Amino acid sequence: MTNKISVVASEVRVNDHVYNGTGSSSHPTFAWETVTEVREEDGLILLITGDANGLHGEFWFETDEQVVVIRYPKPAPGTAPANSASAGHKHS
């Protein structure tokens, strides 16, 4: 389950998803990009999506500006992720 929420830009976290318009795809799911870095520069919040040293997107916001993000809940402690190394088919 995911949650689409509004937060102030200073509360955006790494791994949140931020909306990047329709872009080149007509499918709206592809318009959400994963935040890989959050920085404060010159009194503004800089959200970076993608590889900071390579191809990436940048979103600049005032610290108290409202931003809509998709945030996945953190897994409960002690639970293994669904795509763990032990999951899947075993071949002999």
Q: pLDDT by residue (tens digit) across 3-53?
A: 899 999 999 999 999 987 765 555 555 678 999 999 999 999 999 998 777
User: What pTM was estimated for this model as a whole?
Assistant: 0.70
CA distance 34 to 52: 12
Q: Which residues of 38-77 are buried (b: 16+ CB within 10 A; e: fewer)?
A: beeeeeebebbbeeeeeeeeebebeeeeebebebeeeeee
Q: Which of 63, 90, 91, 72 is nearest to 7 (CA)?
A: 63
- Would you tell me how many other CB atoms lie within 10 Å of the CB of residue 33? 19
Largest CA distance in the chain: 58
pLDDT at 81 over 90: no
Architecture in CATH of 3-71: Roll (2.30)
- pLDDT at residue number 35: 95
Note the pLDDT of residue 32. Answer: 85
- Burial grade of 36 (CB within 10 A; 0-12, 13-18, 19 or more): middle
Under the banding of pLDDT at 50, 70 and 90, the label for residue 85 is: low
pLDDT class for 64, splitting at 50, 70, 90?
A: very high
